[in-house]
Structure 1
Amino acid sequence: MKIKLLLFLLTGCFVSCAQVKQNDIEIRPSKSSYAFETVFSNVGIPWGLAWLPDGSMLVGDKNGEITLVTKTNEITISTGFDDLYVRGQGGLLDILPHPNYENNKWIYFAYASNQGEGDGGNTKIVRAQIEENKLIRIEELYKASPNSTKGVHFGSRMVIDKQGYLYFTIGDRGNRDENPQDITRDGGKIYRIKDDGSIPDDNPFVNEAGAKTAIYSYGHRNQQGMDIHPVTQEVWTHEHGPKGGDEINITKKGANYGWPVITYGVNYSGTTITEKTQKEGMEQPLYYWTPSIAPSGMAFVTGDKYPDWKGHLLVGSLKFQYLELLKLKNNQVNERLKIAEDIGRLRTVKMGPDGYVYLGVEGKGIVKIIPN
């Protein structure tokens, strides 16, 4: 009995200590040499950034404006989003062309919408096509409900995997006590739908009475970074904690990520949210930041332009206004490097089709990192 108890305590300490060790990694300046080139500046808060197969770039401003940037021109795209709700963190969010865009011409948009039940707005996912510099064939794929006048925690990021499933995030909309842990409510979730908006038969809660069947995982706070691992094809996200406790997570089907039952953060006032950082049946983050960096935008580095960065993870910091490189080994963070110090509030981090890293920086525009 004593041996079993000792093994249990050692195992528990191992898990706990491994997590603390992860969090204790200090960030240091990168030794890499690089320069910055502003490729587009006519944007206030560049949240959405994507490329079409011809190399032209779509830039979305949170205020609702979309610009198609070609080699020779900057073209305003008329959206027709009459239900756009711009308040606080709400507005035009992510932009994502379909992987088979050359054949189907679909582009996906996430934005805050005032459509539906209640005052205010909530996150909406649509797809549309561009013709004669305007969006046509706009199709609603998902609209979260109910609306709220709170201006926080809309999410929203999107990816499409190799099976054609669209994953997207919706934050808890500032309602932490009801939304994240309740699968009959929207908010505080990662969702998975088919690219036409229909629900996959094997989604985890399709047979649960009253559940939002598009939900793939739950117990999240506000995820503003999302990417697919280039090797494993797993969907990775990061999410804002409160004061402390920003997280990186690997998305698992049907998993509960704990918010607000467990967290490594506290209220902004410094008061306690919960004494618990772990609980059976709830996932631990792959990595967490304390203090918070306010993460926004995320991308795995691919290609050969940045050999020291390849295969590792870039995350923007709104709070400290730098780009962070998290070096990974066996799905663990073992080094943190600070890149682009004092560049400004980073909203978007993307790998461009030319193999370069692009940043969306508030008040500056789209900035390209060029290694020397």
Structure 2
Amino acid sequence: MRVVASLVAAIGLTSSGLAQSDIHETEQADFRMEAVAEGLEFPWSMAFLPDGRLLVSERAGRLRLIEGDTLRRAPVAGLPDIMVEGQGGLLGLAVHPDFADNGLIYFAYAEGSANANHTALARGRLNDDATALTEVETLFQVNFDKERGFHFGGRLQFLPDSTLLLTLGDGGLHRNEAQDLTNHLGTIIRLNDDGTVPFDNPFVSARGARPEIYTYGHRNVQGIAINPQTGSVWAHEHGARGGDEINLVEPGRNYGWPLVTYGVNYNGTPISDATHGDGLEQPIWFWDPSIAPSGLAFYDGDGFENWQGDAFVGALVGSRLVRFEVEGDRIISREELLVGRGERIRDVTTGADGSLYILTDERAGSVLRLVPVIP
């Protein structure tokens, strides 16, 4: 990727109000950057409503609505008490597949105190003018109270059968719990849309195991999406120092953390001397050094023809957007976009207008969109 060089003083601004230097050329498509909304406090997740309005969670514990590229001043009311500590706060969002009929919004969040906290999942009904959630109910709570505000996971993904996946972390100081099926740390769980446990979850009949668990052996999963080419579920998780992974999520599988890893501790000491193990899944991609991936989307819009089916991953430490060209469930090439801007990217999604939307993870964060430039 390179930014098109131009004499801004001579050329002026584009019709969008952005400088010509904000037009980017990439291997497969050219785009310009547009600011949709600014001044969001550490925005974490986005979810489009069927009518094109956009919900955005702020980690600080607020749910915001963007309509017509205007950020509504007042947050959406009705959220439960949310613990804002470290990486914890209001996290992932999802709109029910039948939202047009039931108006249901799902959200993950941190609750508890700095000394005893966990990830929770709730849902509420968005009222007609989208000013409040009503009938809010907690559907799930992790059964392990951890200390400090680390590794909550918190991404949501509905499956075609309307069951819901929620990604979770290992709690930071509790990595070995990711191999213990009696608790939810370091897992991805699957629930029915009312919070009950699906009868066909892989550990429903396993003695002592938590029946909600779908997969385990994860460190901190912060991206999940369905590959439209294959229908498979992809998820990525943070490694420690190195070892960020993209995995194919299959029920009942063990993804190895911390028994196997491609990373080391932050102080350079080993976590494990193995990268492979019997019965442990291998990633389809890993990063070393880490980029701290956050947000995952497969592009399925009409704006970028050559991006159809490509996977996009935001990067926090890496401060970039990564595009993967995908063939089936294989990654065949990689391209790094928005390098050098210095903005942590927390989430990415496709808009109904064919643009690609991203969140910047800043104290005064933004919703930005990548709009195709037609030659």
Give TM-score scaled by structure 2 length: 0.88
Shift of the alpha carbon at 1:56?
1.0
Q: Partner of 2:359 in structure 1?
A: 360
Over 3 Å counting, the alpha-carbon distance change for 1:308 and 1:145 in structure 2 is same
Q: Is the CA contact 1:66–1:76 (under 8 Å) kept in the aligned structure 2? A: no
Checking the alignment, whether the CA contact within 8 Å between 2:64 and 2:76 is kept in structure 1 is no
Which residues of structure 2 form unaligned runs of 5+? 1-25
Match of 1:22 in 2: none
Q: Which amino acid aligns with 2:120?
A: K
* Corresponding residue of 1:230: 228
Contact 2:322–2:337 (CA under 8 A) maintained in structure 1: yes
- The residue number in structure 2 matching 1:345 is 344
| 1:236-295 per-position Cα deviation (integer Å, ceiling 9, x unaligned) | 100000111100011111000000000000011111111100001000001111111110
Aligned counterpart in structure 1 of residue 59 of structure 2, from 40, 59, 62:
62
- Give the secondary structure class of the aligned counterpart of 1:308: helix
2:118 alignment partner in structure 1: 122
Say whether the 8 Å CA contact 1:63–1:91 is kept in structure 2: yes
Question: 2:264 matched to which residue of 1?
Answer: 266
1:201-233 per-residue CA deviation (whole Å, 9 max, x = no partner) reads 110111112211100000000011111111322
Query: 2:224 touches 2:295 (CA, 8 Å); kept in 1?
Result: yes
1:178 alignment partner, SS class: helix
2:34 matches 1:33: no
Paired position in structure 2 for 1:284: 282
Q: Distance in 1 between matches of 2:161 and 2:28?
A: 39
Map 1:169-248 → 2, pairs under 5 A: 169-248=167-246
| Secondary structure at 2:116 match in 1 | coil
Partner SS, residue 101 of structure 2: helix
Are the equivalent residues in 2 in contact too, given 1:65–1:76 (CA < 8 A)? no
- Would the alpha carbon gap of residues 232 and 360 (structure 1) be closer, same or farther in structure 2, given more than 3 Å must change? same
Change (3 A) 1:88 1:73: closer
The 2-side partners of 1:68 and 1:245 are apart by: 35
* SS at structure 1 position matched to 2:74: strand
Measured in 1, the distance between the counterparts of 2:205 and 2:267 equals 41
Identity %: 39
Letter in 2 for 1:89: Q
Report if aligned partners of 1:30, 1:338 keep a CA contact under 8 Å in 2. no
- Asked whether the equivalents of residues 64 and 71 of structure 2 are also in contact (C-alpha less than 8 Å), the reply is no
Q: Give the deviation of 1:327 after TM superposition.
A: 1.2
Kept in 2: contact 1:124–1:143 (CA 8 A): yes
- Match of residue 6 from structure 2: none
- Write the distance in 2 (CA, Å) between the matches of 1:79 and 1:211: 36
The 3 A distance-change label for structure 1 pair 197 and 36 is: same
Query: Which residue does 1:369 correspond to in 2?
Result: 370
Runs of 4+ more than 4 Å apart: none
Aligned to 1:98: 96
CA separation in 2, counterparts of 1:156 and 1:79?
21
The 3 A distance-change label for structure 1 pair 178 and 320 is closer
Aligned residue pairs, count? 343
Using the TM superposition, name which of 163-172 and 49-58 deviates more.
49-58
Question: Once structures 1 and 2 are overlaid, which stretch shifts more, 74-83 or 95-104?
Answer: 74-83
Give the Cα separation in 2 of the matches to 1:224 and 1:351.
17
Asked if structure 2 preserves the Cα contact closer than 8 Å seen for 1:77 and 1:135, the reply is no
| Deviating more after overlay: 360-369 vs 30-39 | 30-39
**Could you state the TM-score of these two structures normalised by the residue count of structure 1?**
0.88
Conserved 8 A contact 2:115-2:148: no
Offset of residue 175 of structure 1: 3.4
Task: Kindly report the root-mean-square deviation, in angstroms, between the aligned alpha carbons of the 2 structures.
Answer: 1.8
Q: Which runs of 5+ in 1 are unaligned?
A: 1-28
Matched, 1:48 2:48: no
CA distance in 2: counterparts of 1:73 and 1:284, whole angstroms: 42
SS at match of 1:298: strand
CA positional deviation for 1:303: 2.4
Q: CA deviation at 1:371?
A: 1.7
